[in-house]
Amino acid sequence: MKISAKNGIIRARKASKFKGLSNVLSEKRQDKNKQLEMVCIEDLVPRNHLLRDIDKALDFSFIYELVRDLYCADNGRPSIDPVVLFKIVLIQYTFGIRSMRQTIKEIEVNMAYRWFLGYSMTEPIPHFTTFGKNYTRRFANTDVFEKIFEQILKPGFFKKYEYAYDEYFDCYLCPNDQILKYSTTNREGYREYKSDPKICEACPYRQQCTLSKNMTKVVTHHVWEEYMERAEDVRHSPKGKEIYSLRKETVERIFADAKVKHGLRYTQFRGLAKLRVQALLTFSCMNLKKLASWKRKNRLLPVFSAFLRQLNGFLLHNIKTRRQASA
pLDDT over 80 at 20, yes or no = no
| Of 82 and 326, more confident | 82
pTM score, whole prediction: 0.53
The phi-psi region of residue 151 (left if phi > 0; otherwise alpha if psi is between -120 and 50; otherwise beta) is alpha
Cβ atoms of 44 and 115 within 8 Å: the answer is: yes
Q: Is the dihedral of CA 146, 151, 155, 156 positive or negative?
A: positive
Query: Which amino acid type is present at position 128?
Result: F
Least-confidence region, from 127-136, 200-209, 269-278: 127-136
Nearest in space to 125 (alpha carbons), one of 89, 98, 88 = 88
Q: How far apart are CA 159 and CA 124, in angstroms?
A: 44
Residues found in the chain: 327
pLDDT over 80 at 235, yes or no = yes
| Of 101 and 24, more confident | 101
DSSP string, 243-305: HHGGGGGTTHHHHHHHHHTSSTTS--S-SHHHHHHHHHHHHHHHHHHHHHHHHHHTT-SPPPP
Position 2 confidence tier, pLDDT thresholds 50, 70, 90: very low
Determine the pLDDT at residue 1.
Answer: 44
Position 15 confidence tier, pLDDT thresholds 50, 70, 90: low
pLDDT over 90 at 106, yes or no = yes
Mind listing the pLDDT tens digit for each residue in 167-216?
899 999 999 999 999 999 999 899 999 999 999 999 988 888 888 888 99
Mind listing the pLDDT tens digit for each residue in 40-94?
899 899 999 999 988 888 888 888 888 887 777 667 666 788 899 889 989 998 9
Position 311 confidence tier, pLDDT thresholds 50, 70, 90: low
**C-alpha 6: how far from its chain's center?**
63
35 phi, psi to nearest 5 deg: -75, 135
- Mean pLDDT of all residues belonging to the chain: 81
Query: Residues 91, 293, 45, 110: what is their CA dihedral angle, to the nearest 10 degrees?
Result: 20
